[in-house]
Amino acid sequence: MSESKAHGKFIVIEGIEGAGKSSAIKVVEEFLTQQQITFENTREPGGTPLAEKLRTLVKEPCDETVTPECELLLMYASRSQLLANKILPALQSGKWVVGDRHDLSSRAYQGGGRKFDDKVIDTIANITLNGFKPNFTLYLDIEPELGLSRAQARGDLDRIEQEKIEFFHRVRNKYLQLATNDDTIFIVDASQAMNKVHDDIKQLLNKHCVGSDLGS
C-alpha cells in the first residue's frame, strides 16, 4: 500500500497468552482518542464475518488432528480477508487501525512454534499480504510460564493455548528474534506491574506516534 498523509496508520499489539494485550489495546485506544485520531479495531484471526468463521476453525478443539499446514493456511486465509475487507479500506479512508495481532503472530506461532521455515511463510505472506506491514508494533514480552498462568486464571484455554510449554518458548524466542531485527517493533516488558507496562506503552506512543513520521 502506498503511503500518503491522507492514509491512516496501522498499530499492532502482539504477545503470547497472558501478556496483557487487551489492557494494552485500551491504552492505545485512549492515546488515539486523546490525539483526536479516528480509529477502528481488528483482531486476528477474525475481524470479518468469514474471517471469524475461520477463527473458530483455528481456535476451537477439534475431533481430528489439525495439521500444522492447515493451521498456517487458515491463518493467512483469515488475514487476507481482514486486510482486503477491513484494514485497507479503513486506512485508505484516513482512519487508523488498532490490531490485536497480525502477521508477526504467524511468524512466531507457526514459524517459531510449529517450526515452519521462514521462506515458506514468506511465500504465503507475499501472496496474501503483497508486502503490507504495520507501521508500529508493540510486542509485550513475558516468560511463557507466567503468561500461561495468567491465561489459565481467566478461564478455559483454546486449542493452541493447550500446547506444551516448549512450544511457547519457541514462540517467544521467535518474537524476540524478529523484534530485535525490525525497527518498527518495540519490546515492552509485560512481566512488570500493569501500571508500569502501561506507562512504557504511553512513552513509546508519545515518542513514535506524535510528531514523528508515523504521526504525520
- Express each pLDDT in 118-132 by its tens digit: 999 999 999 999 999
What pLDDT, in 10s, does the model give residues 64-97?
999 999 999 999 999 999 999 999 999 999 999 9
**Closest of 17, 37, 27 to residue 204, by C-alpha:** 27
pLDDT category of residue 214 using cuts at 50, 70 and 90: low
As a whole number of angstroms, the distance between CA 188 and CA 200 comes to 7
Cβ-contact 21, 106 below 8 angstroms: no
Give the pLDDT of residue 216. Answer: 44
pLDDT category of residue 209 using cuts at 50, 70 and 90: confident
- Is residue 215 scored above 80 in pLDDT? no
As a whole number of angstroms, the distance between CA 163 and CA 110 comes to 12
Report all structural domains of the chain as residue ranges with CATH numbers, in order of start: 10-209 (3.40.50.300)
**Closest of 102, 112, 134 to residue 21, by C-alpha:** 102
C-alpha cell at 57: 476453525
Give the pLDDT of residue 3. Answer: 39
Cβ-contact 37, 161 below 8 angstroms: no
pLDDT category of residue 170 using cuts at 50, 70 and 90: very high
Which residues, including other chains, have CB under 8 Å from residue 200's CB and lie 6 or more apart? 188, 189, 192
Give the pLDDT of residue 129. Answer: 98
pLDDT category of residue 2 using cuts at 50, 70 and 90: very low
Q: Which DSSP helix (H) or strand (E) runs through 121? A: helix 118-129
